Amino acid sequence: MKKPAVNPGSGEALRASAARSLVPVLTGRGSLAGLDVRQVAPRDRSLLRALCYGVCRTLPRLEALAAALLRTPFKARDADVQALLLLGIYQLLYLRVPAHAAVGETAGAARALNKPWATRVLNGCLRRLQREADTLQERVDQEPSVALMHPPWLLDALRQAWPQDWQDIARANNLPGPMTLRVNARLNTRNAYLEILENQGIKARPCAYAPQGLTLESPCEVEALPGFNEGLVSVQDEAAQLAPELLAPTLADRPGARVLDACSAPGGKTAHLLEAFDLELTALDNDPQRLTRVEQTLDRLDLTATLKTADASTLDWWDGQAFDAILLDAPCSGSGVIRRHPDIKRLRRPNDIEDLAGRQGAILDALWQTLAPGGALLYATCSVLPRENADQIRDFLDCTSDAREITPENLPWGRRTHPGRQLLPQPDGHDGFYYALIAKASA
């Protein structure tokens, strides 16, 4: 029997797995959403995740350095070798991996990809980076989109939208987001759960704005959270936890109110609404697989809703009975959550923004017909681009005679954008998010 070239449990095998996982992102054919860490040993799963997400987070800069190191670019069919080079650069510049391992095991991983010819090329490039790191980084960082690690079109869009903040937004996008929890108010208080965490040796602090929110000092696997399987707590960013606060004036005094959560998957806000209020809630999503995640979330939390697979821009799913309130967490660019989904930098295209704005408008127009007179619709996105947010709602208000914005003026979070309120991503704080609350005139 032929002896395998690479030990399956070795550092070379781990880096080959990371390279294979990155190829769909580098070639624009897939995202990191399907990253299967089970392809490596349990002890290596955190490193595999850190390598893949780290490379995507720093991709524009890594690619500029790779181009400076290579005499001739790799061919398209060798995207896996290109991924190895990016992995090697990332380890040398951003991780505390010993340099001999970053170079030797990354170059050696080419054998696991059945491309032993690339070992010498990778080894040469990475050793040159070790010798000339300062000079090469200074050279590529002359380009702002490289230094700030965003594609030029996205950096231009941020600069135009937020001329005073665009660099801070980009820097926040380049940092890993904190792990934030939502304590189930039906089962516990935030302070009581904080004490449970402390007793388990897990350090956390209350969120600044979300009443049920806690931010962990260090991320952990959800299975390590006390009472997670019993529904005591869920993982949800602080910005995403603000929806029930905004809908409270509409729902707090109306037990049994009919509420629609459109575009509901994966169900975090659905569950939060049901934890906060007694509702008759319908959760809608056009993806049956993602709607399954809503069902799993509700089962874990012992909550009940009516689930429907349907396109929210149509009304063929609607029974004609109006809703008292609607939460529309609209499909968007995700430009406010890049730190959690860094592959957005590679996969999103400039034309996507206008296409998404068109779909958002179509959903708004359709759902407005299902809202009862006197009811309220909360529009939300995880975007920081005005075309998907304030501009979108402004257009809707201009064309809808019975709609009136009622977003509170004196909230302690975000910025008033007239209409709506915008949160920008904060290092070690909340994600980028947008909310606008719209009332429908009484009949």
Burial label for 144, CB within 10 Å (0-12, 13-18, 19+), is: middle
Q: Both 89 and 193 in a single domain?
A: no
What confidence score (pLDDT) does residue 1 get?
Answer: 41
Q: Is 329 annotated among the ligand-binding residues?
A: yes
Q: Among 15, 242, 43, 26, which Cα is nearest to 108's?
A: 15
Angle at 418 between CA 416 and CA 422, to 5 degrees: 40
CATH number at residue 383: 3.40.50.150
Q: Is 264 annotated among the ligand-binding residues?
A: yes
Give me the number of domains the chain comprises.
3
Q: Is 319 annotated among the ligand-binding residues?
A: no
Asked if 172 and 424 count as a contact pair (C-beta separation under 8 A), the reply is: yes
Q: Both 416 and 344 in a single domain?
A: yes
Which positions are annotated as active-site residues?
382
Q: Both 218 and 244 in a single domain?
A: no
* Domain membership flag for residue 159: no
What confidence score (pLDDT) does residue 6 get?
Answer: 62
Q: Which range marks the domain in which residue 216 is found?
A: 180-235
The mean predicted confidence, pLDDT, of the chain is: 95
User: Is a pLDDT exceeding 60 seen at residue 2?
Assistant: no
pTM of the model: 0.93
C-alpha of 330 from chain center = 14
Q: Is 220 annotated among the ligand-binding residues?
A: no
Q: Both 195 and 244 in a single domain?
A: no
Q: Both 256 and 355 in a single domain?
A: yes
pLDDT in tens, 205-231: 999 999 999 999 999 989 999 999 999
DSSP bridge partners of 433 = 423
Given 235, 250, 272, which residue is the final one in a domain? 235
* Interval 301-320 mean pLDDT: 96
pLDDT in tens, 179-211: 999 999 999 999 999 999 999 999 999 999 999
Q: Both 260 and 334 in a single domain?
A: yes
What confidence score (pLDDT) does residue 443 get?
Answer: 72
Q: Is 268 annotated among the ligand-binding residues?
A: yes
Q: Is 399 annotated among the ligand-binding residues?
A: no
* Domain membership flag for residue 157: no
CATH number at residue 191: 3.30.70.1170
* Domain membership flag for residue 155: no
Long-range contacts formed by 40-47: CB under 8 A, 24+ apart: 40/13, 40/14, 41/9, 44/14, 47/14
Q: Both 145 and 259 in a single domain?
A: no
| % residues pLDDT > 70 (the chain) | 98
Q: Which residues contact 69 (CB under 8 A, 6 or more apart)?
A: 85, 89, 125, 128, 129, 136
Q: Which residues contact 382 (CB under 8 A, 6 or more apart)?
A: 239, 240, 332, 334, 335, 336, 337, 431, 432, 433, 434
Given 131, 149, 167, which residue is the final one in a domain? 149
What confidence score (pLDDT) does residue 4 get?
Answer: 47
Q: How many CB atoms lie within 10 A of CB 217?
A: 13
Q: Both 314 and 424 in a single domain?
A: yes
DSSP bridge partners of 326 = 260, 377
Give the β-pairing of 371-381 and 433-440.
Answer: antiparallel
* Domain membership flag for residue 209: yes
CATH number at residue 75: 1.10.940.10
Q: Both 205 and 72 in a single domain?
A: no
Give the β-pairing of 213-216 and 180-183.
Answer: antiparallel
* Domain membership flag for residue 79: yes
* Domain membership flag for residue 162: no
Given 128, 149, 170, which residue is the final one in a domain? 149
* Domain membership flag for residue 35: yes
Q: Both 27 and 143 in a single domain?
A: yes
Q: Compute the radius of gyration of the chain from its Cα atoms.
A: 24
Q: What separation, in Å, do the N-terminal and C-terminal C-alpha atoms of the chain show?
A: 81
Q: Where are the alpha helices (DSSP H) in 302-435?
A: 344-347, 350-368, 390-399
* Interval 416-440 mean pLDDT: 97
Q: Both 229 and 186 in a single domain?
A: yes
Amino acid (one-letter) located at 303: L
* Domain membership flag for residue 1: no
Q: Both 56 and 111 in a single domain?
A: yes
Q: How confident is the model at residue 241 (pLDDT cuts 50, 70, 90)?
A: very high
What confidence score (pLDDT) does residue 82 get?
Answer: 98
Token pair belonging to 408: 């509170």
What confidence score (pLDDT) does residue 8 get?
Answer: 66
User: Is a pLDDT exceeding 80 seen at residue 5?
Assistant: no
Beta strands in 297-390 (DSSP E): 306-309, 323-329, 371-381
**Structure-token match 């949160």, residue found:** 423
Asked if 416 and 402 count as a contact pair (C-beta separation under 8 A), the reply is: no
Q: Which residues contact 124 (CB under 8 A, 6 or more apart)?
A: none
